[in-house]
Structure 1
Amino acid sequence: MKTVVKLFIVTIAILFTSCEDVIDVEVQQGPERLVIEASIDWEKGTPGNEQTIRLRKSTPFFDTNTNTAVTGATVDITNTNTQEQFVFTDQNDGTYTTDSFVPVLGQSYSLRIAHDGEIYTATETMTSVADITNVFQDREDGFDEELLEVHLVFTDPVDEENNYLFKFQRRGDLLPELEVAEDEFVNGNEIDWWYELEDDDEDGENQGPFAPGDTVDIEFFGISRQYYDYIKILISQIGGVGLFESTPVAVRGNCINETNPDNYPFGYFRLTEVVRTSYTFTEE
Structure 2
Amino acid sequence: MKKVIILFIGLLFLNCEDPIDLKLNDSNQILVVDAFINWIKEDQTSEQEVILSLTSPYFEENYISASGANVFIEDEEGKIYIFNEEGQSGRYLTLDTIPYSLDKVFTLNIEYNGQYYSGKESLISVSDINRVEQEKVNFFGRESIQLQANSLDPIEERNFSFFEFKSDKLKKTEYNIYRDDFSSGTEYYGFLLSDELEPGDEVQIRQYGLSNIAYNFWYLLIFQNTEQGGPFQTTPVNIIGNMVNQSDSKLNPLGYFRISEVSEILYTVK
Cross-structure match for 1:221: 208
Cα distance per residue 1:24-58 (max 9 Å; x no partner):
55544222011111111111144545522111111
- Aligned with residue 32 of structure 2, among 22, 31, 35: 35
Distance in 2 between residues matched to 1:267 and 1:48, nearest whole Å: 24
Q: Retained in 2: the 8 A contact 1:51–1:99?
A: no
Distance in 2 between residues matched to 1:279 and 1:215, nearest whole Å: 6
Cross-structure match for 1:233: 220
Q: Which has the higher strand share?
A: 2
Cross-structure match for 2:259: 271
Instruction: Report the CA distance shift for 1:47/1:277 in structure 2 as closer, same or farther (over 3 A).
Output: closer
Matches within 5 A, 1:78-93: 78-80=74-76, 82-92=77-87, 93=89
Instruction: Report the CA distance shift for 1:280/1:78 in structure 2 as closer, same or farther (over 3 A).
Output: same
CA shift at 1:223, angstroms?
0.7
SS in 1 for 2:65: coil
Q: Retained in 2: the 8 A contact 1:50–1:98?
A: no
CA shift at 1:238, angstroms?
2.1
Segments of structure 2 that go 5 or more residues without pairing to the other structure are 1-12, 229-234
CA shift at 1:172, angstroms?
2.6
Matches within 5 A, 1:173-188: 173-188=170-185
Cross-structure match for 1:251: 239
Q: Retained in 2: the 8 A contact 1:79–1:110?
A: yes
Matches within 5 A, 1:113-262: 113-139=110-136, 146-197=143-194, 208-239=195-226, 248-262=236-250
Please give the TM-score of this superposition, normalised by the length of structure 1: 0.78
Matches within 5 A, 1:28-67: 28-48=25-45, 51-66=48-63
Q: RMSD of aligned C-alpha atoms?
A: 2.8
Cα distance per residue 1:159-209 (max 9 Å; x no partner):
111011111123233321121010011011122433212xxxxxxxxxx44
Letter paired with 1:150: L
Segments of structure 1 that go 5 or more residues without pairing to the other structure are 1-15, 198-207, 242-246
Q: Retained in 2: the 8 A contact 1:211–1:281?
A: yes
Query: Is residue 110 of structure 1 aligned with residue 97 of structure 2?
Result: no
SS in 2 for 1:262: helix
Distance in 1 between residues matched to 2:183 and 2:140, nearest whole Å: 21
Cα distance per residue 1:79-132 (max 9 Å; x no partner):
12x332211122232111113221312211111111111110101111011111
CA shift at 1:220, angstroms?
1.0
Distance in 2 between residues matched to 1:48 and 1:120, nearest whole Å: 28
Alignment length (residue pairs): 250
Q: Retained in 2: the 8 A contact 1:156–1:187?
A: yes
> Percent identity over the alignment?
31
